[in-house]
């Protein structure tokens, strides 16, 4: 009876080791693949959740804007009724109607003279200001316009010039659907308005 050839034994051992390594590699590969798929699913779920939250916030903003406009219309109707009832308008404005109900934001735009590309398209010169009844101007100390857009280097503009409606001007490539207008009052308080600049300008 002869013993196993050393070369054959070595080959058999090498084959077993190779099979073991192959199996182990496959297990690791499938584990990594499974983990990758799991992480992609988690990421996709997170993205979908963020999109749903963004859509929900957008709907809430639209509802708040509609409610605010209805609120202003109701207060203006009260104003008209009080005037017909011979209530002094100045007294009514200061004691009945909140300032935010009589502040109306405005925007204007014109093409800038500087052209930036061969198509002739260039930036716009934008202006923002608020319209306030003359007998309420003394209640406002300063107005800040917050332009929250990454394309703008300066995103906060302030004005204390009541004679020009607290107007500010800047240059940009397009209008903004959300401009936060912070109104700092003479009594130290602050009120904020959410202004759709694009709608005001008639841009689509």
- Whether 97 is covered by a domain: the verdict is no
Work out how many domains the chain is built from and give that number.
1
- Whether 172 is covered by a domain: the verdict is yes
DSSP, collapsed to helix, strand or coil, labels residue 15 as helix
Contacts with 79 (C-beta within 8 Å, 6 or more apart), sequence order: 89, 92, 93, 96, 97
- Whether 127 is covered by a domain: the verdict is yes
Cβ atoms 114, 137 nearer than 8 A: no
- Whether 126 is covered by a domain: the verdict is yes
DSSP, collapsed to helix, strand or coil, labels residue 147 as strand
- Whether 73 is covered by a domain: the verdict is no
- Whether 12 is covered by a domain: the verdict is no
As a whole-number percent, the residues of the chain with pLDDT over 70 amount to 70
Which of 5-9, 80-84, 91-95, 147-151 is most confident?
147-151
- Pairwise CA distance, residues 165 & 149, whole Å: 24
Residue 111: give the domain boundaries. 102-115+122-201
Answering whether pTM is above 0.75, one says: no
Q: How confident is the model at residue 81 (pLDDT cuts 50, 70, 90)?
A: low
Work out the average pLDDT over 79-93.
Answer: 60
pLDDT, tens digit, 9 for 90 and up, residues 148-159: 888 888 889 999
- Whether 82 is covered by a domain: the verdict is no
pLDDT, averaged across the chain: 80
CATH number at 134 reads: 2.60.40.1970
- Whether 28 is covered by a domain: the verdict is no
């Amino acid at each position: 009876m002869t013993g196993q050839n050393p070369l054959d034994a070595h080959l058999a051992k090498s084959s077993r080791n190779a099979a073991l390594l192959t199996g182990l590699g496959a297990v690791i590969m499938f584990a990594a693949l499974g983990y990758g798929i799991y992480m992609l699913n988690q990421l996709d779920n997170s993205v979908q959740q963020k999109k749903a939250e963004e859509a929900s916030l957008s709907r809430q903003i639209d509802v708040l804007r509609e409610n605010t406009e209805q609120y202003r219309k109701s207060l203006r109707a009260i104003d008209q009724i009080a005037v017909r009832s011979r209530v002094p308008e100045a007294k009514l404005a200061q004691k009945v109607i909140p300032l935010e109900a009589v502040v109306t934001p405005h925007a204007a735009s014109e093409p800038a003279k500087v052209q930036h590309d061969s198509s002739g398209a260039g930036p716009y010169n934008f202006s923002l200001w608020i319209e306030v009844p003359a007998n309420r101007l003394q209640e406002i100390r300063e107005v800040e316009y917050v332009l929250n857009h990454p394309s703008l280097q300066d995103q906060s503009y302030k004005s204390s010039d009541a004679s020009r409606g607290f107007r500010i001007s800047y240059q940009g490539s397009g209008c903004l659907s959300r401009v936060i207008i912070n109104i700092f009052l003479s009594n130290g308080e602050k009120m904020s308005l959410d202004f759709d600049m694009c709608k005001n300008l008639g841009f689509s």
